[in-house]
Amino acid sequence: MSPFESLARTVVRYRWTVLIGYLVSLAVFGFIGAGVFGALGSRGFDDPGSESTRAAAILVNTFGSDAPTAVLAIESSVDIASPATTASASALANAVAKVDGVRQVVSYWTSGQPAQLKSTDGRTGQVLVFTDKGADAQALTQTLIDQFSGEQGDLTVYVYGWNVVGDAITTTITGDLAKAEGIAIPITVVILMFVFGSVVAAGLPFMVAGASILGSFTVLFLLTKLTDVSVFALNLATGLGLALGIDYALLMISRFREELKTGATSDDAVVTTMRTAGKTVLVSGITVAITLASLMVFPQYFLKSFAYAGVSVSLFAVLGALTALPAMLAILGPNVNRLKVRRGDLAPTDTGAWSSIARFVMRRPWPVMIGAIALLLVMAYPALQVAFGQVDDRALPPSNPAAVAGEVLRDRFPGQESAPYGVVLINPTGDATAIDTYGKQLSMIPDVVRVTTPTSIIVGGAVVAPNVSQETWTTDGMTRVTVVGNAPPFDTRAVAVVDALRAAPAPAAEVIVGGQGAAYADSNSGILGRVWIVALWIAITTLIVLFLFTGSVLLPVKALILNVLSLAATLGALVWVFQGGHLTWLVGDYTNTNTVDISSIALIAVVAFALSMDYELFMLSRIKEEHDAGRSTADAVAFGLQRTGRIVTAAALLIAIVFASFLSSGVTNIKQLGFGVTVAIILDATVVRAILVPAFMRIAGKANWWAPPPLRRLHDRIGLRDS
């Protein structure tokens, strides 16, 4: 007796106990997992082992210097240097200074009217707010928003800062999650009833998805006690949970109906379903989990969080599909077809549209395959012009107060005062004159507005004023230099500034560059520098799992190549839409930064690959089963596609609806996630599964099942078999 058959007979025998235990577990997961919503972070994009992180620690711990926690842009209807505006704005700046946790306030009106804090139109001034060490910066920024944001007499105040942006993103995503579910679930329920053919069967995917989502929420909540977890992971947990619940329920119920149609009893039908479809579910779930676990290779906790969510969602989905679902099928028996919404027999048929498509493709495999590959390559072409970005206030809806404040600061001021570059010179080798010469060199870098050395303020290669700041600039064999640029910190121009700062000859044994722009550059490098590890991880996993599953050498290679083609086309579509600014009528309004979020690209690629493997296993499992039963490769492909094509297409449609609902989000990178996964799923279920797979397998013929003798013997010993 195979392990799957043994498990099936146990579940069938104790069906009510299994079901009740499962429902109790759902209640526990729901109670514990509810705490996750208040425990997640909105950051996690920086590389904790990078040069910029080291610089940030030195600037804070050694020099007591850091970037402003918040920036207030104070707008007046007249020149901000006028007596009336000066009086009002000074009073406001002094009130900000009295807020608990504020260490220092530097404003245009109370700090000698420095030109860099005055807007180009003369009607807006800045107030830079620095917090005490150990103060709750998040609570402080919320206090600033509550007390000062908006109309203040004859002034208008805009509050900005990363904590402001982070809180806005968290609030927006939490609301968007409910909105997306409100859109996706009703549509999904209607389509589920048609796809499953009965109201009773249509409800079963939610049983699997319930454990998947609530179980992952519980895992994420428990992980917040040990490490940082990103709020963005909630979207993947819900989307992937529903996706796998639908996938696995479709596969299991379809096979259960097929067995009932042969005259098997309900109990025997469950056992056969578990031995065949259940094995596929287990292998699929483990493959999806291993694939998503590759995200833990990246240093950013934003991406690690998706690994936590993805692995837990996958494993809980498998648990639900192999326990509660067969228990319910054993309880329901033929009643799984009650309350039919479709006429005719709900069991799968041996012939039909998918069999016809497969045979049409296999009659002319070369032209069909060449045409399909050409289509994917044309779609992939825009990816050659990809420009990477990262989440900042521009990811928010343009009307969001944090986004408005960010736009005011970018448009009206010559420099990014809220995000300076911090340059630390380790063991400087020259005197003040040498460091000033170095500062003059830095000030000539494109997009640099001002450089401050321990003794001078330098603009355009010339000293314009002495540095009279009382802050610490030299200590413990280190000297710091501050560089203010006019490029947004999360922008490709900022990367160029960072590269130039790091490449400039310096009078020091070592130079360390920090600041938000440097953190952005290092984050990009941290992701791009580890892509090869993730790619190798996924490639090896794919080859091993599919070999153990099929015993073939060629089929795993085929799956890898086709999935890469599909992902390239998806990336091209993503670049064309979000970087090029096309199809806004479809994806909704957003601020176009002419970039694509680099973290979203990594996430989309891994999630899409995982779901592609899901469908690959569904199809290959049935094709191999028929081939092992004695059918020719062509007949096995046609029959396997007929039995699984409807499942894959229906699952893809339903999952596409779930992820497409993310387009309703106000956060741009969530839109990108929804769009990217939706496109990848549609391409995989149509071009890849319906066209390329049968064409390739027809061309390969008997070679599909070939393996060298040593590997064949290895598969005979440890392959994934029924017993």
CB count in 10 Å sphere of residue 75? 20
In this structure, are 533 and 682 located in the same domain?
Answer: yes
Tell me, yes or no, whether 549 lies in a domain: yes
* Number of helices followed by number of strands (H, E) in the chain: 26, 14
Q: Which residue has the higher pLDDT, 312 or 174?
A: 312
In this structure, are 141 and 286 located in the same domain?
Answer: no
DSSP state of 691: I
Instruction: Render pLDDT for 254-307 as a digit per residue (tens, 0 to 9).
Output: 899 989 988 899 999 999 999 988 988 999 999 999 999 999 999 999 889 999
Instruction: Render pLDDT for 551-572 as a digit per residue (tens, 0 to 9).
Output: 899 999 999 999 999 999 999 9
Average pLDDT, the chain: 89
- Domain end among 485, 514, 543: 514
Confidence of residue 194 (pLDDT cuts 50, 70, 90): confident
Tell me, yes or no, whether 60 lies in a domain: no
In this structure, are 215 and 303 located in the same domain?
Answer: yes
Bridging pattern class, strands 596-597 and 388-389: parallel
In this structure, are 11 and 116 located in the same domain?
Answer: no
Task: Check which CATH number belongs to the domain holding 570 and give it.
Answer: 1.20.1640.10
Instruction: Render pLDDT for 7-33 as a digit per residue (tens, 0 to 9).
Output: 999 999 999 999 999 999 999 999 998
Tell me, yes or no, whether 583 lies in a domain: yes
- Domain end among 326, 348, 370: 348
Q: What does the pLDDT average to over 688-702? A: 92
In this structure, are 105 and 133 located in the same domain?
Answer: yes
Q: Which of 82-86, 276-280, 348-352 shows the lowest mean pLDDT across its residues? A: 348-352
Could you identify the residue written with the tokens 């579509």? 573
Task: Check which CATH number belongs to the domain holding 82 and give it.
Answer: 3.30.70.1320
Confidence of residue 334 (pLDDT cuts 50, 70, 90): very high
Q: 405 has which bridge partners?
A: none
In total, how many domains does the chain have?
Answer: 4
Tell me, yes or no, whether 510 lies in a domain: yes
Q: What does the pLDDT average to over 377-387? A: 94
Instruction: Render pLDDT for 407-440 as a digit per residue (tens, 0 to 9).
Output: 999 889 878 887 889 999 999 988 889 999 999 9
- Domain end among 458, 483, 514: 514
Note whether 444 and 536 are within 8 A (CB).
no
User: How far apart, in whole angstroms, are the C-alpha atoms of residue 581 and residue 465?
Assistant: 44
CB count in 10 Å sphere of residue 113? 14
Q: Which of 160-169, 311-320, 374-383 shows the lowest mean pLDDT across its residues? A: 160-169
Q: What does the pLDDT average to over 170-191? A: 82
Q: How many CA atoms lie within 13 A of 204 on its CB side?
A: 34
| 530 residue type, one letter | R
Burial class of 430 by CB neighbour count within 10 A (0 to 12, 13 to 18, 19+) = middle
Q: What does the pLDDT average to over 539-556? A: 91
Tell me, yes or no, whether 177 lies in a domain: no
Q: 459 has which bridge partners?
A: 462
In this structure, are 698 and 551 located in the same domain?
Answer: yes
In this structure, are 590 and 708 located in the same domain?
Answer: yes
What DSSP assignment string belongs to 651-685? Answer: HHHHHHHHHHGGGG-SSHHHHHHHHHHHHHHHHII
What integer pLDDT is reported at residue 503 of this predicted model?
94
Note whether 460 and 444 are within 8 A (CB).
yes
Residue 667 has pLDDT above 60, yes or no: yes
What integer pLDDT is reported at residue 476 of this predicted model?
80
Q: What does the pLDDT average to over 611-631? A: 86
Q: Which residue has the higher pLDDT, 558 or 40?
A: 558
In this structure, are 558 and 660 located in the same domain?
Answer: yes
Q: Whats the size of the chain, residue-wise?
A: 723
Domain of 480, in residue numbers: 420-514
Q: What does the pLDDT average to over 246-257? A: 90
Burial class of 586 by CB neighbour count within 10 A (0 to 12, 13 to 18, 19+) = exposed
Residue 38 has pLDDT above 90, yes or no: no
Closest CA to 575 of 592, 554, 558, 555: 592
In this structure, are 563 and 695 located in the same domain?
Answer: yes
Instruction: Render pLDDT for 93-124 as a digit per residue (tens, 0 to 9).
Output: 999 999 998 888 989 998 888 888 899 889 99
Instruction: Render pLDDT for 124-149 as a digit per residue (tens, 0 to 9).
Output: 999 999 888 777 888 888 899 999 99
What integer pLDDT is reported at residue 348 of this predicted model?
67
Residue 344 has pLDDT above 80, yes or no: no
Q: What does the pLDDT average to over 305-330? A: 95
What integer pLDDT is reported at residue 723 of this predicted model?
45
User: Two tokens at 117?
Assistant: 């804090």
Tell me, yes or no, whether 32 lies in a domain: yes
* pLDDT > 90: percent of the chain: 53
Confidence of residue 391 (pLDDT cuts 50, 70, 90): confident
In this structure, are 258 and 334 located in the same domain?
Answer: yes
Q: How many CA atoms lie within 13 A of 25 on its CB side?
A: 19
In this structure, are 627 and 722 located in the same domain?
Answer: yes
Tell me, yes or no, whether 176 lies in a domain: no
In this structure, are 714 and 631 located in the same domain?
Answer: yes
Task: Check which CATH number belongs to the domain holding 426 and give it.
Answer: 3.30.70
What integer pLDDT is reported at residue 468 of this predicted model?
82
Q: Which residue has the higher pLDDT, 91 or 132?
A: 91
User: How far apart, in whole angstroms, are the C-alpha atoms of residue 533 and residue 439?
Assistant: 39
Tell me, yes or no, whether 509 lies in a domain: yes
What integer pLDDT is reported at residue 1 of this predicted model?
64
| 662 residue type, one letter | F
User: How far apart, in whole angstroms, are the C-alpha atoms of residue 217 and residue 241?
Assistant: 11
- 634-648 burial by CB neighbour count: b if 16+ within 10 A, else e? bbbbbbbbbbbbbbb
Burial class of 168 by CB neighbour count within 10 A (0 to 12, 13 to 18, 19+) = buried
Confidence of residue 347 (pLDDT cuts 50, 70, 90): low
User: Two tokens at 347?
Assistant: 């069991």
